Structure 1
Amino acid sequence: MTPRFHDLVPAALRRIWATEGHCPDLDLYSLFRARRIARPHDTAVIDAQGEISYADLDRRARCLAAGLARTGIGPGDTVGVQLPNTREAVAADLAIAALGAVALPFPVGRGGREALSLLGRSGARAVLAATEYRGLAHARELAELSRPSGVSVELAALHTVIAAGPGPVPEGCLSLDALLDTEAEDFVPARPDPDAAARILVSSGSEAEPKMVAYSHNALAGGRGNSLASLLRDGTPPRCLFLVPLASAFGSSGTAVTLARHGGCLVLLDRFTPDAALEAIRAHRPTHVMAVPTMVRMMLDRPAAEHERPAAPTALVLGGSALDAATREEARRAFGCAVVNLYGSADGVHCHGGLAGPAGPETGPGIVVGRPDPGVCEIRIAPLQGGASGDAGEILARGPMTPMCYVGAPELNMRYRTADGWVRTGDLGRFTDDGTLRVVGRLKDIVIRGGANVSPAEVEGELSSHPDVRDVLCVGVPDPLMGERLAACVVPRPGRQPALESLCAHLDRLGLERRKHPEHLLLIAGDLPLTPAGKPDRAALRGRAADAFPADRTQAG
């Protein structure tokens, strides 16, 4: 049974945003088709296989849509997609949209247990998965889980597993190549309501299971599309290098925004390495590079001769975590472009300072983000219970990009959505006198030491300016006396060996209260671990810190 997606934003508000021009009020495939008709020979995607034009990508998408229709997929059905960054992933996005179905992309590398949860809770009827990716056989694993002898209760709706990529087709799977051989001349695309569900974004947050968030065509192409529109020069179509997975929440600005909304070009790597990313910037000259801060730090650590430096993009657009001022300035000099640190999440909030950067001083609590754009979402601050005037509160958002609802989790709708459509983000923030938003941390990430709250984000922001620190995340470590103690997980700069005493002295000089100082230091060789979605893996670091500083060895005091 196909689950229904309830829109928790009042319909009248959706219509107002469309009338005001914040949303294109067309479904994603129709938007893409208009681009294809206008400029059929323009390059749509550059991947490891080379270039593919809008016309050829459209032909591929229509054939796949017709093939999916033959398997029984129709309007409103959910289709999972677990593919690397390739033209196949883009064609799948477009084919699912052309059917009026709902795409559920999730990154390669996520194991069968998580895939089982996502596909089962969403009621997915089909899934496209990689035959092989870096030693993982996603298609075979999903086919085994969907068999009667597998874990079939959770996957009761799943009837088709489609294997994509080279190699033999696993037992129980259909071949993507076979579906693409379908004749599509008679295929007639659906014309879904632009306010109907188009995609389920998977949040890599801290819930026990990843959250799934349903977005409409208008929320993706409109609200999220407006967020990128403000970073374009003279309306020139963007050429976006996606270092993050297209299947991540950040990656939802790929097919729906870069191609369908803005008529640009996607430059794709099937996996990130700093050397491959730098080579792609040199070879393909993207206007925008979509990444997370840790990826940029890794690229900055690669020495390059002056003649090898890549041509300057318009902007590095970084999401997933905060970027410290020192690294932003280093990246600005190295790449010769604007560095935009996007504050956003799958839950329904986007805000940034544009190409000029946010106004306001860098000093002070939290990260300076920018002024909210009503074409993306309004933002307000809800005071915390017991909080004093001027204290940080929870960030709430509502606007053209606001998602419809959480999928398969009514308790999350109760917890994070208000009756009039606002999203409770779980982030802490405050506005400055000129209306600039500062984000000061996460409610969930708060470390409670001896009954006092410590925001890891605040401490990370201060530690990032230490001359020995290349990258840092702070996590709580269980403690029998204090409840939790703060551990700083630090990637040192090359040739440096920071000590806890030096870090705390640095925080003293910056005026940070001593109760917020880290009490453990975990040095990380290489780089911070990343989740399959490309974000720093805070949960993994929390586990490593707990192993390194077990409670029975923690000093009381």
Structure 2
Amino acid sequence: MTVALHDLLPATLRRTWAVEGTCPDLDLYSLYRARQIADPHRTAVLDGKGKLCYTALDRKARCLAAGLSGLGIHAGDVVGVQLPNGRDAVIADLALAALGAVALPFPVGRGGREAASLLRRSEAVAVIAAAEHRGNHHAADLLALTDELPALRTVVSAGPAGTAPQGAVPLSALMRTDPKTFVPARPDPDTAARILVSSGSESEPKMVAYSHNALAGGRGNFLGSLIPDGRPPRCLFLVPLASAFGSNGTPVTLARHGGTLVLLDHFTPEAALEALAAHEPTHVLGVPTMIRMMLDRIAEGGHRTFTPPTAVVVGGSPLDEATATEARLAFGCPVVNLYGSADGVNCHTGLTHGSPDGDGRPGIAAGQPDPRVADIRIAVPGTRELREVSGGTVGEIVARGPMTPLCYVAAPDLDTRYRTEDGWVRTGDLGLIDDDGTLRVVGRLKDVVIRGGANISPAEVEVELAAHPAVRDVVCVGVPDPLMGERLAACVVPRDEAAPTLEELCAHLDTRGLERRKHPERLLVLSELPLTPAGKPDRAVLRERCTPQAERQQQPLASAG
């Protein structure tokens, strides 16, 4: 390994969590093997190809690990993975863990240039990519960029026989390697296992290095708190396994909890509801937009009946009260509002049937922090050392705990900006902790629209607009304006054909007590929100569509307060 992946947390603190049993203190592949030995015939993966048990999955992972080892890939090497949800992605996860290599998954659909940036900055020596997926030819695209990637030695192409582009190594050939002589590595559980890619506001996606213990321990404890009976979970992942949210797949659902992954290679609300009915998952993991699309199909009727899961876990963006209430009724189970990020923060509302909000307090309730996952505090923004604010005061949300990552990858400037001297993670989010210990997320420090020199938090406006009875989904973005610098645009998916007007939305915000200067001044009505490859609303696309040049039927500007 050439890229430096150092730990910004004190080593004694990491060891304390292992000694106390908060973290399992085993590498991911060893954890998986223990699960496989304990229950060899349990179903590990359910995908479009059918079922794959723990033993069959283990053999395939060992074959691939042996094949990759034959290509000169060793412990500590970074290997990119760009595969859709399915068994190949899980096999790759486990094979790299068995090698002691560091996996760098990123979702299909990301452009070649962005993928090349991730591979170049991480100094990845190989990448496993789909030969073809929904019109994208990732393996060929990455092969064409190898001259720009001096560390990249190998492109492995995943797909049917004969589809690998010239110069790539077929995944199917590596899977035929005899694994008898392969000996799995036993890396230190506190060293790097996986790099999570954050879709933050940086010019390039941030990469965050996580250890085996941070994934199976800290993130594993998060999922464990949502398993009331302790039985192995059956998790339907609507988000890509290659996303930060999806890192709760192979390392957590399989290796830590011995559960089953139910996977769709591409999300549609119809496919998700079919999987819910056919496979009876205990947990459904998705982003709010996906859940809203499923709710629309449920309201239309025609779907198969399904057994209520244990929980619907919603993360990636704020969950509004109306969606949470509707989802609880439609799915017949608790809806968990997850506040988390690749940067190292996690808090959720838990298995309660109550509404996460609706009591007039500021922001969105994110539950009570669990120190077995991440201790969360509220600090004065912009200081290198941790300085907490007084109770009930809004400040920057900071986190530190068993799930805290090692560091940012090849970005010492981000380490300086987002980590304190003793390892706390600065989230860039604003929040407060109530008297009862509940974390409430108010907005973002950086995600602001600056209108005439005044700051507007899009998240604050989104929360209020989501309470309008005619709004199904909403994202607010800033668009350039020659007079004011920026103006706020509301991108709305209506609940029915009668879309609300800009005037109606602003009148609603008046009743909610939102200052007039924070009201949106443009409205874009959509049938559905565009999503990024990671499954989140694509704010860049929305911002482009809201510009005066692109928006041909723009609503008139509202009066400025």
TM-score, normalised via structure 2 length: 0.95
2:159 is aligned with 1:157? no
Contact 1:5/1:214, CA 8 A, preserved across alignment: yes
Q: For 2:96, what is the secondary structure of its paired residue?
A: helix
CA distance in structure 2 between the aligned counterparts of 1:49 and 1:388, rounded to whole angstroms: 53
SS at match of 2:542: helix
Q: Are 1:404 and 2:406 an aligned pair? A: yes
The whole-number CA distance in structure 2 between the counterparts of 1:556 and 1:506 is: 15
Tell me, what secondary structure is at the counterpart of 1:5? coil
1:301 counterpart SS class: helix
Stretch of structure 1 that moved more, 537-546 or 383-392? 383-392
Measured in 1, the distance between the counterparts of 2:389 and 2:54 equals 55
Question: Which residue identity is paired with 1:344?
Answer: G
Q: Which amino acid aligns with 2:348?
A: H
445-454 or 211-220, which deviates more: 445-454
Partner of 2:289: 294
Deviation sequence 1:258-311 (CA, Å, 0-9, x none): 000000000000000000000000000000001000001001111454882321
Q: Aligned partners of 1:388 and 1:413: how far apart in 2? A: 22
CA–CA distance in structure 2, aligned partners of residues 404 and 384 of structure 1: 22
Opposite residue 228 of structure 2, the aligned amino acid is R
Q: Is the 8 Å Cα contact of residues 226 and 376 (structure 1) preserved in structure 2?
A: yes
Aligned counterpart for 2:370 among listed residues 342, 351, 373: 373
Change (3 A) 1:259 1:388: closer
Name the SS of the counterpart of 2:547 in structure 1.
helix
Contact 2:477 2:539 in 1 (8 A): yes
**Structure 1 position 495, deviation (Å):** 2.1
Q: Distance in 2 between matches of 1:350 and 1:332?
A: 22
| 1:331 to 2:333 alignment | no
CA offsets 1:460-506 (integer angstroms, 9 cap, x no match)? 11111111100001111222332222111111112222001111111
Counterpart code for 1:465: A
| Distance change in 2, residues 1:385/1:62 (3 Å) | closer
- Show structure 1 runs of 5+ residues with no match: 147-151
Residue aligning to 1:450 = 452
| Separation of aligned partners in 1, 2:303 and 2:12 | 56
Partner of 1:465: 467
Does the CA contact (< 8 Å) of 1:102 and 1:198 recur in 2?
Answer: yes
Distance 2:61 2:389 in 1: 55
**Alpha-carbon spacing, 1:434–1:556, altered in 2? closer, same or farther (3 Å):** closer
Separation of aligned partners in 1, 2:270 and 2:224: 29
Question: Which residues in structure 2 correspond to 1:172-187 (within 5 Å)?
Answer: 172-187=167-182
Output one character per residue of 1:398-445: Cα deviation in whole Å (capped at 9) or x when no partner: 000000000011111111111100001111111111111000111121
Q: How does 1:485-504 map to 2 (within 5 A)?
A: 485-504=487-506
In structure 2, give the amino acid aligned to 1:185: K
SS at match of 2:312: strand
Distance 2:332 2:302 in 1: 13
Residue 342 of structure 1 is matched in structure 2 by: 338
Equivalent-residue separation in structure 2 for 1:361 and 1:517 (angstroms): 21
- The answer for the alignment partner of 2:114 in structure 1 is 114
Structure 2 counterparts to residues 19-418 of structure 1, below 5 A? 19-146=19-146, 152-153=147-148, 155-166=149-160, 167-302=162-297, 303=299, 305=301, 308-356=304-352, 362-384=359-381, 391-418=393-420
In structure 1, C-alpha distance between the alignment counterparts of 2:521 and 2:150, rounded to whole Å: 49
What is the alpha-carbon distance in structure 2 between the residues aligned to residue 308 and residue 453 of structure 1? 47
One-letter code aligned to 1:506: H
1:270 alignment partner, SS class: coil
Equivalent residue, structure 1, for 2:547? 546
Counterparts of 2:359 and 2:537, CA distance in 1: 23
8 Å contact from structure 2 (residues 340, 346) kept in 1 = yes
Question: Quick check: 477-486 or 176-185, which moved more?
Answer: 477-486
Q: Could you list the per-position Cα deviations for residues 349-379 of structure 1 after superposition, in whole angstroms to 9, with x for gaps in the alignment?
A: 0000110157775422210111100000111
Give the C-alpha shift of residue 449 in structure 1: 1.9
Q: Distance in 1 between matches of 2:164 and 2:108?
A: 18
For residue 289 of structure 2, what is the amino acid of its counterpart?
T
Distance 2:175 2:215 in 1: 26
> Residues 273 and 304 of structure 2 are in contact (CA less than 8 Å); yes or no, is this contact kept in structure 1?
no
The 1:381/1:231 distance shift into structure 2, 3 A limit, reads same
Q: Which segment is superposed worse, 475-484 or 300-309?
A: 300-309
Q: Residues of 1 paired with 2:484 and 2:430: CA distance?
A: 23
CA distance in 2, matches of 1:220, 1:214: 10
- State the 1:549 CA deviation: 6.0
User: Distance between the aligned counterparts of 1:307 and 1:4, measured in 2?
Assistant: 50
Distance 1:113 1:305 in 2: 42
Whole-angstrom distance in 1 between the partners of 2:24 and 2:468? 46
Verify the 8 A CA contact 2:478 2:486 in the aligned structure 1. Answer: yes
Q: Kindly provide the amino acid, as one letter, of the partner of residue 79 in structure 2.
A: V
Q: CA deviation at 1:164?
A: 0.5
Structure 2: where are the runs of 5+ without partners?
A: none
Amino acid corresponding to residue 536 of structure 1 in structure 2: P
**Secondary structure of the corresponding residue to residue 462 of structure 1:** helix
Distance 1:143 1:306, change over 3 A: closer
Contact 2:321 2:356 in 1 (8 A): no
Question: In percent, how many aligned pairs have the same letter?
Answer: 70
Determine the structure 2 residue equivalent to 1:149.
none
Distance 2:282 2:175 in 1: 31
Q: Is the 8 A contact 2:210 2:406 kept in 1?
A: yes
Contact 2:357 2:364 in 1 (8 A): no
Alignment TM-score, normalising by the size of structure 1: 0.95
What SS does structure 1 have at the residue aligned with 2:251?
Answer: helix
**Once the 2 structures are TM-superposed, how far is the Cα of residue 385 of structure 1 from its aligned partner?**
7.0
Comparing 266-275 and 453-462, the one that deviates more: 453-462
Residue matched to 1:535? 536
Aligned residues of 1:78 and 1:124 also touching (Cα < 8 A): yes
* Cα distance in 1, alignment partners of residues 138 and 435 from structure 2: 51
Q: Could you say what the CA RMSD is over the residues aligned between the two structures, in angstroms?
A: 1.9
Whether the 8 Å CA contact 1:358–1:368 is kept in 2: the answer is no
Cα deviation, residue 514, structure 1: 1.3
Q: Is the 8 Å Cα contact of residues 321 and 357 (structure 2) preserved in structure 1? A: no
Partner of 1:308, secondary structure, is: coil
Amino acid paired to 2:320: D
What SS is found at the alignment partner of 2:414? helix
